[in-house]
Amino acid sequence: MNKHLIAPSILTANFLRLEEEIEMLNGSEADLLHLDIMDGVYVPNLTFGFPIIRQIKSLAKKPLDVHLMIVDPDRYLEEYRDAGADWLTVHYETCEHLHRTIQKIKELGMKAAVSLNPHTEVSLLEPVLGDLNMVLIMTVNPGFGGQKFIESSYDKIRKLRAMIDKAGHKTLIQVDGGVNENNMGSLIDAGVDVFVVGNTIFSAPDPVQMISKLKSPK
């Protein structure tokens, strides 16, 4: 049985055919639907807001994994829950009182995750690791899809895996950026549990077949 999870990134879907894309993912082996929320301030890109999340939620048969790349995420935690987020990821770099933010996410009934940018050390998460359902390691700089995987990410993932295992936590490790068939095996070996995949899935001739391949990499 495959332990790792696949979270297709909706950002690379065809938004003119969004209903069809969601239905396709519903019928696939995908485990989560990954939604990148960008505000044009924290990262140099704008994506979509609550109305689109609600529309996706109304169709999706998989949990929504919502990744906030926004300043001051605390303002909107309840609204993201109400829009349909099942998992909510905030960036370490944007949270002044990270422990409080994590507790609030969980109080609202969502699974809590924290994301680290490529330059941020995993050791900074040690005080809150036991409170987290997941840590998202950004393996590209956040803001745009289709970027090249940052090779030094492997060391960060191994370090984080060792921290989680040593403490006996059940925290999942997620990666986002430059994931494809060629590096998935190495990433699983390094300790990754959840893969955000965009272009590799949505640019494939048969996305459902691609997801199936990613669930069982060589």
One pLDDT digit (tens) per residue for the chain, 218 residues: 358 999 999 999 999 999 999 999 999 999 999 999 999 999 989 999 999 999 999 999 999 999 999 999 999 999 999 999 999 999 999 999 999 999 999 999 999 999 999 999 999 999 999 999 999 999 998 876 667 899 999 999 999 999 999 999 999 999 999 999 899 999 999 999 999 999 999 999 999 999 999 998 86
Say whether 176 is catalytic.
Answer: yes
Catalytic residue, candidates 31, 65, 176, 193: 176
Query: Residue 101: which H helix or E strand, with range?
Result: helix 98-107
Say whether 36 is catalytic.
Answer: yes
- The CATH H-level (homologous superfamily) assignment of domain 5-215 is Aldolase class I (3.20.20.70)
Catalytic residue, candidates 31, 36, 65, 193: 36
Look at residues 146, 130, 148, 42 and name the one whose alpha carbon lies nearest to residue 91: 42
Cα 99 to chain centroid distance, Å, stands at 19
Sheet holding 64-69, edge to edge: 5-8, 194-197, 172-176, 134-138, 111-116, 87-91, 64-69, 33-38
CB atoms within 10 A of CB 152: 8
pTM of the model: 0.96
